[in-house]
């Protein structure tokens, strides 16, 4: 099966992320793996991901991260642009894993959701 345009935003320390990667490999798919903590998405990439997912930037925030509290991101008055800026500055805030295939995207929670876009 073609692996063109298959990208995974991955955190190797996350069990859900590792599980998602294994599901892809078990289905003969080898994504371009982006360790987003080492190589965070730029603002334009993040906007594209948000669009493909059909969510808001707030939906991508990991609210359990300490940086979420430290940066006071629970403030409902923050704009989409401000939240995108925060995710770019603090990539640990990004929900994971995110898999993009053929202009479709899913958050791999649960990991089996990735099957929705690689079939």
Task: Give yes or no for a contact between 101 and 118, defined as CB atoms under 8 angstroms apart.
Answer: yes
What is the spatial distance between Cα 57 and Cα 79, in angstroms, rounded to a whole number? 9
Active-site annotation holds for 88 = no
Task: Give yes or no for a contact between 93 and 86, defined as CB atoms under 8 angstroms apart.
Answer: yes
Sheet holding 104-107, edge to edge: 32-35, 6-10, 98-101, 104-107
List 7, 14, 92, 117, catalytic entry = 14
Pairing of strands 98-101, 6-10: antiparallel
**72 dihedral zone (left: phi>0; alpha: psi -120 to 50; beta):** left
* Residue positions annotated with a catalytic role: 14
């Amino acid at each position: 099966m073609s692996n063109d345009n298959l990208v995974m935003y991955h955190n190797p320390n996350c069990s859900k992320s590792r599980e998602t990667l294994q599901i892809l490999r078990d289905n003969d798919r080898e994504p371009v793996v982006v360790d987003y903590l080492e190589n965070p998405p730029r603002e334009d990439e993040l906007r594209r991901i948000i669009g493909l997912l059909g969510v808001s930037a707030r939906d991508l925030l990991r609210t359990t991260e300490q940086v979420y509290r430290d940066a006071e991101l629970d403030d409902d008055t923050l704009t989409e642009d401000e939240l995108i800026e925060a995710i770019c500055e603090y990539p640990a805030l990004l929900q994971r894993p995110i898999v993009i295939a053929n202009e479709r995207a899913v958050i791999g929670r649960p990991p089996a959701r990735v099957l929705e876009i690689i079939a």
